[in-house]
Amino acid sequence: MTDQTIRLRGASDDAALLSRIAQGDMAAMKTLYEAHADAVARFVRPRVRDAAEADDIVHDTMLSVWRGAAGFQGRSSVRSWILTLARNKTVDHIRKQARVTLAEADETQPDDAPDPETVIGAAQDAARVRACLDKLPERQRAAIHLAFYEEMTCAEVAAVEDVPEGTIKSRIFHAKQALMRCLSRNGRK
């Protein structure tokens, strides 16, 4: 069985779960949640950069899945549909935050930064790649994340990002070029 066959079977399973969710099946919702919540979190966290707020967006997204399952029209994969909901929730959150006057930093919050031992222990190549990824513009970083880490097609990424497929291909191309330049610079000592 090929990876594509496995992926297609998973997509039809998701569609079946969504159909059951539309009929109020909570067990189906639990299964779908467990299958996709981590991917939604990986998608949201870099954009929000606050773990609690990201978790709220994940839960709000999945609540929208529960409420809107009957409205799913099947024009995209279930995962693409869920990530599109997450993108919209994230954009709404960011817009709302832009209107809010931020208070001073809460010093009682623990520092989530990794300790030096963890950083040193991390694989050197992985650290270099992450550093280079972090230098990419947000739109290119999102396209790379969805295409390579979430294993979505360009069409699926375009649907999630709400842009033409050619735009996604261009973002990925330019991101790859920037990553190669960055990695070759960082590889020299």
pLDDT of residue 6: 34
What is the DSSP-derived secondary structure letter of residue 150? Answer: S
Provide the residue range defining the domain that includes 138: 113-189
Residue where a domain stops, chosen among 70, 104, 138: 104
pLDDT of residue 46: 86
State whether 80 and 131 are in the same domain: no
Q: Which of 86, 35, 90 has the alpha carbon at shortest distance from 61?
A: 86
pLDDT of residue 10: 58
In angstroms, the CA 177 to CA 168 distance is 14
What CATH number has the domain bearing residue 136?
1.10.10.10
Tokens of 45: 């966290």
| Segment 21-44 mean pLDDT | 93
What is the DSSP-derived secondary structure letter of residue 182? Answer: H
In angstroms, the CA 40 to CA 157 distance is 13
Distance of CA 138 to the CA centre of its chain: 12
State whether 95 and 133 are in the same domain: no
Question: Strand, helix or coil at 188?
Answer: coil
Distance of CA 96 to the CA centre of its chain: 20
Residue showing tokens 């299958």: 35
Sign of the CA dihedral with 147 first, then 22, 32, and 62 last: positive
In angstroms, the CA 44 to CA 54 distance is 6
pLDDT of residue 1: 35
Tell me how many domains the chain contains: 2
Question: pLDDT confidence of 121, banded at 50, 70, 90?
Answer: very low
Query: What H or E segment, with its residue span, contains residue 185?
Result: helix 165-187
pTM of the predicted structure, to 2 decimals: 0.57
pLDDT in tens, 70-96: 998 888 889 999 999 999 998 888 888
Residue where a domain stops, chosen among 73, 104, 135: 104
Question: pLDDT confidence of 49, banded at 50, 70, 90?
Answer: confident
State whether 76 and 163 are in the same domain: no
State whether 117 and 99 are in the same domain: no
pLDDT in tens, 58-74: 999 999 999 999 998 88
Answer yes or no: are the C-beta atoms of 140 and 174 closer than 8 Å: yes
Answer yes or no: are the C-beta atoms of 72 and 16 closer than 8 Å: no
In angstroms, the CA 154 to CA 175 distance is 14
State whether 61 and 17 are in the same domain: yes
State whether 185 and 120 are in the same domain: yes
